Structure 1
């Protein structure tokens, strides 16, 4: 088990937001990889915990051959761009944009005068040249909801060998980890146990584990990234 704490990293950002980057994979960032950040897992290559300023925005920018997942923790954003222009993303919602070879442009805007919080994740495509696409999810208030990854025989979620799930646990509930996984807490606190190790974890902790369990001491929300076993 390895744990990376968000607030141990420098605060960066661009345009109208500030962010901590916890995963900057060498396959994408090369010599510009941030020191002390984690490598990714399977095709997962990037995780940033961002807070938009009052009325802040990213500015319109393009993506190609990358899947961009946005998880809204607090506040809301207004989505602008070539996919689902004008769509809003509310607290608890998840927006998934597939760039593929077609690509897309987007701008995410905080329409409010107070700061918000959004987690952004990037995943490399399993195959190049796919069509661009957009999906929106509201994860279940209790339990585990898959929002990315799976086989090509379904259309509910974008296919990928990388699985991303949102886990919402009540106090005393547990989440078992049975393969190499990255678990990022976005709310609450608990304990993570792996063999003889037991660590207290809280909002802003990123855990890399191969086999263990997360035990919630309070209500917990977490993003779980793992490789498909199919």
Structure 2
């Protein structure tokens, strides 16, 4: 299972917790790379979507299984389980860790007016990947070449907590008028490579601000 689509399946952000997550789509951080002074790699211009009506949109869990996703699933057979104490994480004010019956995924949610969520996984890294930036570049190339819905348009060197990392910014495109902003951040501790990932409605500025503040304030060591 590829993490872009795991996001859509697990939660929805930008909605009050009392409201149903009708479209099962997560919300997330800004579509602007963090100002960390790092280098940025860009691909072609941001893609535009099709003219299909919303009623004709594919089901994310099924139709997003494109050839690119299948190849990534082969490369990344599984997320690795977290071990006790391998990462120390201090969440910003207003955030809490959710209880999930899965030792390969950590989920953090904003507790105030809307249910923003951020996910953390540890990858079973494919051969030839030497560091976090290499894994980010691998994802960027694979999705942009082979996936019809997920496009990443920048790769930026950043700091996340106590670690240097790499940030992907992109879009999950359902339709010209229905897009999700994607942010994936990769960092390495010892021989392990981790991903922090989230998404939100491309026009939801409140969600972008809240989630961007998470990336700036979270302590990881």
The alignment's TM-score, normalised by the length of structure 2, stands at: 0.31
Considering fraction of residues, name the structure with more helix.
2
Higher relative contact order at CA 8 Å, sep ≥6: structure 1 or structure 2?
2
The alignment's TM-score, normalised by the length of structure 1, stands at: 0.30
Considering fraction of residues, name the structure with more strand.
1
